[in-house]
Structure 1
Amino acid sequence: MFNITPTVRNLLIVNVAFLLAQMNLLPLLTQIGSLYPIGSPYFFPWQFFTYMFLHAGWGHLFSNMLGLMVFGPLLEQRWGASRFLTFWLICGVGAGLLYEGVRGYEGYRMEQARQEFHQSPNGPDFDRFFSSYFPEATGYQTLAHALERNPQNQEYIKAATDAVDGAVEETRNSKFGGMLGASGALFGLIFAFAYLFPNTKLFIFPFPFPVAAKYLAFGYTLIELYQGVHRVPGDNVAHFAHLGGLLIGFFVVKYWEGGRERFY
């Protein structure tokens, strides 16, 4: 079913080995290897590299490795093992860097919203803060309505201010705030595959008909962009890391294409 090339096979083995280590041998590996926000007490520079070899479970690993097996072999045959591995790593690291930039911007906006709320605490802004930055939170609406009805109540003001401060600090210092997975690197492969083999037909569940690679990449981009901008409660997918992998993949492929070793 799959023509597994050497580097693709080695990446599969390494990723499976890391997940086994996470689950059985080194449970702290997930914490020290996942990519945390810069400024978090759990952040270390090596996480830009290590996060792409860690996964949240077998389902997470399977989806990424399935993509690697689908898109990787033809690219490795086209480029060779060294260039293929370089591309995978560049896309993974680049996706992490871009995602950190997005997280940093979101953190800056959240801090600005917190300071504005401190200056003028009120019910509507309290509700807006949580619905914007913590849509999965529950129960805050009751306090928001109480503060709106009694805007001078110091007990309500203190409770709301403490809740906002606690949410921001939890985001910065939570040990569960790390990103992990090979999706950023994989989305770089998806772009490269669609660029080099645009009319290759692929069967993608749940569609009962084949889809050209160029349309698949375009569709994935639109979906990730929409889901990244319109976050829903419970969505813990790093959509902007996926988009970062696509973007880095684009730049790398175009750079290589414009160099001395042109694609044929």
Structure 2
Amino acid sequence: MGRITDTVKGLLIINIIFFVGSLSLGNNAFEWFALWFPKNDNFQIWQIVSHMFMHADAGHIFFNMFALYMFGSHLEGSIGQKKFLFIYFFSGLGAVGFQILFSYFQFSPGYQAYLDAGFSPSEINTFIQNTVTSGQYKVYPNIPQDVTENMIGAYVTPMVGASGAIFGVLAAFAVLYPNLPLYIIFIPIPIKAKYLIGGYFLLDLYGGITGQAILGPSNVAHWAHIGGAVIGFITMWYWKKNSFNDKRWY
């Protein structure tokens, strides 16, 4: 997609440094820098940003950084460094908002069910902590098992990765270059950016609604991808509609 820009190069280096550092720190890295559910004791405010530079494994960081390399420099060359960084980080924050909102939808019904069953907030917290420690929990009458599992899952599952920010970049790219032909490895037929990136968005939307992943692992934070894409799309659409007059944006 052309020469790599200094901004994209910097983001690649920071992500790689974080990944290598997380390997040396082990679980402590995820405890400190992954984004935890706000009610989890591990949650810290800086995780809203730091999680964007954490990745679960080599495959995770490779595909995110490959997408950043392929699309980021081209996008930045068209809109300038400041607007590119705005889309990148604002999309990452949008991903946080969507994913945390989804986690609350998972957590709240179970929490309320235990309150209705006569548990105090401190007793619910003790129940969750014991479940996390032992990996087992007692099934209480009138509280569906899936409700408890959703509550525990939302509490213990951290969010990591630049995927939300990357999806914002992809969505912005599709808005700016909707008809640019793109190629997928092993498929020798060009696909317009709006169809390829839009199709990937629809797959994530399906995964977010159904909880079933068509592509990729089952633990993908689909709503984070959706949130990042929505923010990137809206931001780029607004700029293109109101500011694009055959001149660069800086």
> What TM-score comes out, normalization by structure 2 length?
0.79
SS of the aligned residue for 1:20 comes to helix
- 1:171 matched to which residue of 2? 153
Aligned to 1:193: 173
Structure 2 counterpart of 1:153: none
Alignment of 1:235-246 (within 5 A): 235-246=218-229
Is this contact kept in 2: 1:111–1:168, CA < 8 A?
A: no
Which residue does the alignment assign to 1:19?
Answer: 19
Cα RMSD after superposing both structures = 3.0
Aligned in 2, Cα 1:160/1:51: closer, same or farther, shift over 3 Å?
same
Residues 41-70 of structure 1 deviation map (CA, whole Å, 9 limit, x = unaligned) = 111121111111100111100000000011
Secondary structure of the residue aligned to 1:208 is strand
Aligned residues: 226
Q: Which amino acid aligns with 1:238?
A: A
- The answer to whether structure 1 residue 223 and structure 2 residue 203 are counterparts is yes
Q: Deviations over 1:189-233 (max 9, x none)?
A: 111111111111111235331211010122012100111111149
Q: Residues of 1 paired with 2:114 and 2:187: CA distance? A: 45
Residue 59 (1) aligns with residue 59 (2): yes
| Deviation at residue 158 of structure 1 after TM alignment | 5.1
Mapped partners of 1:157, 1:81: distance in 2: 53
* Pair 1:24–1:216, CA change in 2 (3 A): same
Partner amino acid, structure 1, of 2:18: F
Greater shift after overlay, 67-76 or 97-106? Answer: 97-106
Rounded to whole Å, the distance in 2 between the matches of 1:73 and 1:216 is 19
Note the C-alpha offset of 1:262. 2.9
1:262 aligned partner: 244
Residue 75, structure 1, aligned to residue 48, structure 2: no
Which amino acid letter does the alignment assign opposite residue 159 of structure 2? M
Shift of residue 188, structure 1, vs aligned partner: 0.6
Q: Secondary structure at the match of 1:22?
A: helix
- Superimposed CA distance per residue, residues 8-60 of structure 1 (whole angstroms, 9 cap, x where no aligned partner): 11111110000011012575222211111121111112111111110011110
1:110/1:210 Cα in 2 relative to 1: closer, same or farther (>3 Å)?
A: farther
Measure, in 1, the Cα distance between the counterparts of 2:61 and 2:24: 16
Q: Give the TM-score, by structure 1 length.
A: 0.75
Conserved? CA contact 1:2–1:69, under 8 Å: no
Distance 1:165 1:251 in 2: 34
Distance change (3 Å), C-alpha of 1:236 and 1:168: closer
Shift of 1:109: 3.0
Q: Distance in 1 between matches of 2:15 and 2:144?
A: 42
Q: Following the alignment from structure 1 to structure 2, what is the Cα–Cα distance between the partners of residues 105 and 161?
A: 16
Whole-angstrom CA distance in 2 between matches of 1:24 and 1:212? 41
For residues 82 and 43 of structure 1, the distance between their equivalents in structure 2, rounded to whole angstroms, comes to 29
Report the identity percentage: 35
For 1:1-264, list aligned pairs within 5 A. Answer: 3-25=3-25, 27-112=27-112, 167=149, 170-171=152-153, 173-174=155-156, 177-232=157-212, 235-259=218-242, 261-262=243-244, 264=246
Pair 167,218 (structure 1): closer, same or farther in 2 beyond 3 Å:
closer
Q: CA deviation at 1:7?
A: 0.7
Which residue matches 2:121? none
How many angstroms does 1:166 deviate by?
6.7
Structure 1 residue 258, shift from structure 2 partner: 4.9
Name the aligned partner's letter for residue 171 of structure 1.
Answer: G
Give, as a single letter, the amino acid of the residue that structure 2 aligns with 1:262.
F
Amino acid aligned to 1:191: A
Unaligned residue ranges in structure 2 (runs of 5+): 119-136
